[in-house]
């Protein structure tokens, strides 16, 4: 059985690879903000349907509410770090 961190770490690796394709800090911030909104919407659907509309990951299985919160926290932390760079 995998832990919630496994699913978030898997997604974080994918996000980090995608962030490398952007040439500006602003573009990275826009992408991360959009990802946060997507995850918030996914979580709202997850709660509203009690997980019925969620497809299990083939390796990590069915996500939990904690998976959603951990992933949104990871994305928010990345966005904050890039926003600090954008201001500096």
pLDDT digits (tens, 9 = 90+) for 18-64: 999 999 999 999 999 999 999 999 999 999 999 888 888 888 888 99
The pTM of this model reads: 0.89
pLDDT at 37: 98
Q: What is the mean pLDDT of residues 5-14?
A: 89
What b/e sequence results for 6-41 when a residue is b if at least 16 CB atoms lie within 10 Å of its CB, and e otherwise?
ebbbebbeebeeeeeeeeebeebbebbeebbeebee
Q: Which has more pLDDT, 88 or 17?
A: 17
Specify whether the backbone of 33 is left (phi greater than 0), alpha (psi in -120 to 50) or beta.
Answer: alpha
pLDDT at 43: 96
């Amino acid at each position: 059985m995998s832990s919630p961190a496994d699913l978030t770490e898997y997604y974080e690796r994918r996000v980090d690879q995608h962030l490398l394709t952007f040439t500006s800090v602003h573009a990275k911030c826009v992408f991360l903000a959009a990802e946060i909104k997507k995850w918030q919407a996914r979580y709202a659907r997850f709660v509203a349907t009690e997980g019925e509309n969620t497809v299990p990951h083939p390796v990590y299985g069915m996500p939990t509410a904690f998976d959603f919160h951990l992933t949104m926290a990871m994305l928010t932390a990345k966005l904050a770090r890039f926003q600090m760079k954008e201001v500096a």
